[in-house]
C-alpha cells in the first residue's frame, strides 16, 4: 500500500525546514518552530499539517514581512533543471512539499507587499506550486494579479 500524501509533512521535513530557515535568520528559534509545526502532527490530515506549519512560520518569522520574505527566499533550494523533487528533505534548501506552507504564508501575510509576494510566488513555483497561496491575491486583486501572471 503506498504511503499517504499527508506523510510528506513529516517531523523530518519540519526539522529540515527549521535548519534551512535558521541558516538565514540569526534570531529564528528552530526549536519553537519544530514544536509548533509538529504538534500532534500524526493526527492531522494533509492540509491541516500544511496549515499548522504555516502557523508555525507566522509565529517564528520576523513580524516585518519584507524580512520574513527574504528569509523564505534565501531558504529555497537553488533552481534546478531536473525534475522537481517532492521528497523535500535535502541539504540544498526547501523545495517540493516543503514549499506548500511557505506559499500559504505569503498568501496570508503578503497582500500588502504585492510585488515582493509575486516574486516569491514565482520563485516558489520553480520548486513546487503556488496555486493555493496565490488564490488570496486572485480574490483580492484579480485584474492586477492576472496581469502579473500574464507577464
**Residue 84 located in a structural domain:** no
Q: Which three cell numbers stand for residue 140?
A: 483580492
pLDDT digit string, tens, across residues 80-100: 645 555 556 678 899 988 999
**Residue 40 located in a structural domain:** yes
**Residue 33 located in a structural domain:** yes
- The per-residue pLDDT for 3 is 72
Could you list the residue range(s) of the whole structural domain that residue 98 is in? Answer: 5-78+89-150
pTM listed for this prediction: 0.91
Indicate the number of domains in the chain: 1
**Residue 83 located in a structural domain:** no
**Residue 103 located in a structural domain:** yes
- The per-residue pLDDT for 92 is 87
Q: Report CA dihedral (133, 135, 137, 139) to the nearest 10 degrees.
A: -150
Backbone phi, psi, residue 94, to 5°: -80, 135
Question: 43: which DSSP letter?
Answer: G
Helix (H) or strand (E) holding 44: none
Residues of the chain with pLDDT under 50: 81
* Sign of the torsion angle spanned by Cα atoms 33, 90, 113, 104: negative
- The per-residue pLDDT for 125 is 92
- The per-residue pLDDT for 14 is 96
Amino acid at each position: 500500500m503506498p504511503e499517504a500524501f499527508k506523510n510528506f509533512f513529516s517531523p523530518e521535513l519540519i526539522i529540515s525546514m527549521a535548519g534551512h530557515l535558521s541558516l538565514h535568520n540569526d534570531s529564528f528559534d528552530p526549536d519553537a518552530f519544530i514544536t509548533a509545526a509538529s504538534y500532534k502532527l500524526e493526527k492531522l490530515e494533509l492540509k491541516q499539517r500544511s496549515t499548522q506549519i504555516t502557523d508555525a512560520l507566522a509565529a517564528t518569522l520576523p513580524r516585518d514581512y519584507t524580512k520574513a520574505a527574504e528569509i523564505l527566499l534565501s531558504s529555497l533550494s537553488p533552481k534546478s533543471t531536473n525534475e522537481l523533487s517532492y521528497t523535500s528533505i535535502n541539504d540544498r534548501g526547501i523545495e517540493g512539499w516543503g514549499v506548500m506552507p511557505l506559499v500559504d504564508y505569503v498568501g496570508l501575510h503578503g497582500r500588502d507587499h504585492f510585488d515582493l509576494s509575486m516574486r516569491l510566488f514565482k520563485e516558489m513555483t520553480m520548486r513546487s506550486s503556488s496555486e493555493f497561496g496565490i488564490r488570496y491575491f486572485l480574490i483580492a486583486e484579480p485584474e492586477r494579479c492576472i496581469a502579473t501572471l500574464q507577464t
